[in-house]
Amino acid sequence: MIVFNLGCEFGHRFEGWFGSAEDFDRQRERGMLECPVCGVKAVARLPSAPRLNLVTTGMAEPSGETSSPTPAANEESASRARMLAAQIAFYQHLRQMLERSDDVGERFAEEARRIHYKETPERQIHGVATREETAELLEEGVAVMPLPFIVKRKNELN
């Protein structure tokens, strides 16, 4: 078994265990790899250089391809596992919220305003807005929460 440091396009880092480097290539080509945090399939192998810190561990990484980590590395991967678990819980919570809210797509800014000005019944919505639209909404006092990643649409969940 070998361990690779992997990362998704949104900067989440995680470890993948593979029988061999070819095994990794094969799984990636078939789209079998997926980020455990956000679920995207755009997963790449990261260099095992220390202090890449896409996710804040603040500690040196163990060398990527060893199968007998030192005790320090064990501690580190335990704390990383806890952090990852917290991240996963957060994203799952977010997904549940999204499933209960209306996807208004490109009309997000318009709908958020209508709700804010009580032109339409209050409800939870989500959708896409440009940076400028988001800034305008926040200026007007419309409560929106920009999400730091591209959220999968409802019909793509599961």
Residue from 2, 10, 64, 142 in contact with Zn ion (CB under 5 A): 10
Residue from 4, 5, 12, 28 in contact with Zn ion (CB under 5 A): 12
Nearer to Zn ion, 43 or 104 (CB): 43
Q: Is 3 left (phi over 0), alpha (psi -120 to 50) or beta?
A: beta
Residue 129 as a binder of Zn ion (CB under 5 A): the answer is: no
Nearer to Zn ion, 23 or 34 (CB): 34
Q: Nearest to Zn ion by Cβ — which residue?
A: 35
Residue 6 as a binder of Zn ion (CB under 5 A): the answer is: no
Nearer to Zn ion, 11 or 69 (CB): 11
Q: Which stretch binds Zn ion (CB under 5 A): 29-37, 54-62, 106-114, 125-133?
A: 29-37
> What HEC string does the chain produce?
CEEEEEEECCCCEEEEEECCHHHHHHHHHCCCCCCCCCCCCCEEECCCCCCCCCCCCCCCCCCCCCCCCCHHHHHHHHHHHHHHHHHHHHHHHHHHHHHCCEEEECCHHHHHHHHHCCCCCCCCEEECCCHHHHHHHHHCCCCCCCCCCCCCCHHHCC
Residue from 3, 8, 98, 151 in contact with Zn ion (CB under 5 A): 8
Residue 37 as a binder of Zn ion (CB under 5 A): the answer is: yes
Residues of the shown chain interacting with Zn ion in the complex, contacts defined by CB under 5 A? 8, 10, 12, 35, 37-38
